[in-house]
């Protein structure tokens, strides 16, 4: 099968997420990196793209040049990844969708709810795929957890407790580092810092595993480093459409926590626990029974958990391979085989509605507010 042509915007040399996209997209021989506008500095981006093997005429200085250069080529890119800072996602994603390209947008998909609704509408109207990189949902053992909840193996879910808390922005003397600063600057990040950066991964995960949607929430935001305009710590209580109680803590000043993304799902007849630092294991406890460690690659797992595993039991895979699973499902979707579980624009919109709801709630001393986007109410 011919490889699909892939284009990348942002994710330049030294960026945080760029390498995971390149490893992920190229891991399975489904895509070729054919075009790129990788950096906010045009020359730096062009030079790096060529070092990665992109032809000189497709190593672009910025995304508008890339759109103009790609749109009429017979071998134009099939998929564009948007891995720039948050405030640029909407404009770039909209332009490429409208020009008929499929897009994988980094989270958060937009910075306002209105923009999110527009992206959902454009994707529907153009029939193009707009996926959002909620890559943690593509870990095999997260698919296993979802399959178990769907199969009723832990009964009705009563409670979800999740956190995504790290300490990598906890050093006040590093707060002006440009790669840290934009995340707390409303002009670059939008209305929320840490909740929109990491909290929405946890919120998406809660909905994803439970096959449910967040309806209302109450939030407490804090900027523990006072020079920060946006929050670096948040506690969010939520409720879902099926009545599940949700608790979420997200922080970037939790010094000592490294990646710190974990989730526990408590049902009427059992509980599940997963932590991103041990992503190959899912801990399962049936009510009144023994706690079991379920390992990626072992017998008896769900079809989805098997499908997304690549190497033998007890061999680590990890984060770039979860991103690779998103790219595999995108390649299938572009070729017409839509996979259950690929996070799409409505998931990105729901996150943005939750972010704005959390900001409003935090300003109103934690008042409970509707967390659904108007178009889904
Ligand atoms: N899905 C995930 O798990 C995950 C993890 C980290 C970051 N992200 C998201 O990825 C995005 C980028 O984050 P990061 O941590 O890699 O940021 P970063 O600051 O490390 O890198 C940003 C990169 O984008 C480039 N860039 C900026 N503006 C550009 C433009 N207009 N055109 C082309 N390139 C441009 C920069 O030169 C740089 O190479 C953010 O939206 C972030 O929320 C997602």
Domain boundary among 135, 155, 190: 135
Determine, yes or no, domain membership for 46: yes
Q: Are 158 and 248 in a shared domain?
A: yes
Query: Is the Cβ atom of 110 under 6 angstroms away from ligand 1?
Result: no
What confidence score (pLDDT) does residue 238 get? 98
pLDDT confidence of 170, banded at 50, 70, 90? very high
pLDDT in tens, 175-222: 888 889 889 999 989 999 999 999 999 999 999 999 999 999 999 999
Parent domain of 103: 4-135
* In-domain check, residue 374: no
Q: Are residues 41 and 122 in the same domain?
A: yes
Q: With a 6 A CB cut-off, is 17 part of the ligand 1 pocket?
A: yes
Q: Are residues 17 and 97 in the same domain?
A: yes
Tell me the per-residue pLDDT of 48-76, one tens digit each, with 9 for 90 and over.
999 999 999 999 999 999 999 999 999 99
Phi, psi of 11 (to 5 degrees): 70, 35
* Ligand 1 near 81 CB (within 6 A): no
231-266 residue pLDDT tens: 999 999 999 999 999 999 999 999 999 999 999 999
User: Domain boundary residue among 119, 135, 151?
Assistant: 135
Domain count, the chain: 2
Does residue 339 fall inside a structural domain?
A: no
**Alpha helices of the chain — where are they, by DSSP H?**
18-26, 42-51, 63-70, 89-98, 113-126, 140-150, 178-181, 186-189, 194, 200-210, 303-307, 319-334, 345-363
**Looking at residue 122, which CATH number applies to its domain?**
3.40.50.720
Pocket test for ligand 1, best of 19, 84, 95 (most atoms within 8 A of CB): 84
Nearest-atom number in ligand 1 for the CA of 196 is: 43
Same structural domain, 243 and 268: yes
Atom of ligand 1 nearest to the CA of 12: 39
Q: Is 16 in the pocket of ligand 1 (CB under 6 A)?
A: yes
String of DSSP letters for 15-61: -SSHHHHHHHHHTTSSEEEEEEE--SSHHHHHHHHHHTT--GGGB-S
Both 225 and 113 in one domain: the answer is no
Residue 320 lies in a domain: no
CB atoms within 10 A of CB 41: 13
Final residue in a domain of this structure, among 82, 104, 135: 135
Atom index in ligand 1 nearest the CA of residue 179 equals 19
Contact at 8 Å (CB) between 122 and 375? no
Tokens 């405030």 correspond to: 87
Nearest CA to 320 among 20, 64, 69?
A: 20
CATH code, 141? 3.30.360.10
Question: Do residue 145 and residue 261 come from a single domain?
Answer: yes
d(CA 352, CA 113): 6
């Amino acid at each position: 099968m011919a490889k699909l042509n892939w284009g990348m915007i942002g994710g330049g040399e030294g960026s945080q997420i760029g390498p995971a996209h390149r490893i992920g997209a190229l891991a399975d021989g489904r895509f070729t990196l054919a075009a790129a506008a990788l950096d906010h500095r045009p020359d730096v981006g062009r030079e790096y793209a060529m070092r990665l093997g992109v032809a000189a005429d497709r190593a672009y200085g910025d995304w508008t040049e890339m759109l103009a250069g790609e749109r009429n080529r017979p071998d134009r890119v099939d998929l564009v990844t948007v891995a720039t800072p948050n405030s640029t996602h909407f404009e770039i994603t909209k332009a490429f969708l409208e020009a008929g390209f499929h897009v994988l947008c980094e989270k958060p998909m937009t910075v306002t709810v209105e923009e999110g609704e527009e992206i959902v509408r454009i994707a529907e109207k153009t029939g193009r795929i707009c996926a959002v990189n909620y890559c943690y949902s593509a870990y095999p053992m997260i698919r296993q957890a979802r399959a178990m909840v769907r199969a009723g193996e832990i009964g009705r879910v009563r409670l979800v407790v999740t956190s995504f808390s790290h300490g990598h922005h906890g050093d006040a003397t590093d707060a002006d580092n440009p790669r840290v600063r934009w995340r707390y600057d409303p002009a670059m990040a939008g209305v929320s810092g840490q909740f929109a950066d990491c909290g929405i991964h946890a919120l998406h995960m809660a909905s994803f595993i439970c096959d449910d949607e967040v309806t209302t929430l109450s939030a407490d935001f804090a900027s523990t480093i006072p020079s920060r305009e946006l929050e670096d710590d948040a506690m969010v209580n939520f409720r879902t459409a099926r009545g599940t109680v949700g608790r979420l803590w997200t922080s970037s000043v939790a010094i000592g926590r490294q990646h710190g993304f974990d989730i526990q799902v408590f049902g009427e007849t059992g509980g599940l626990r997963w932590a991103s630092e041990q992503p190959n294991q899912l801990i399962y406890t049936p009510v009144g029974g023994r706690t079991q460690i379920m390992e990626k690659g072992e017998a008896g797992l769900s079809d989805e958990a098997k499908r997304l595993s690549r190497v033998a039991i007890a061999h680590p895979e990890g984060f770039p391979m979860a991103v690779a699973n998103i790219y595999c499902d995108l390649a299938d979707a572009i070729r017409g085989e839509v996979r259950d579980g690929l996070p799409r624009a409505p998931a990105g919109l729901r996150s943005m509605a939750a972010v704005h709801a959390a900001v409003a709630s935090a300003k109103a001393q934690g008042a409970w507010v509707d967390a659904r986007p108007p178009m889904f109410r």
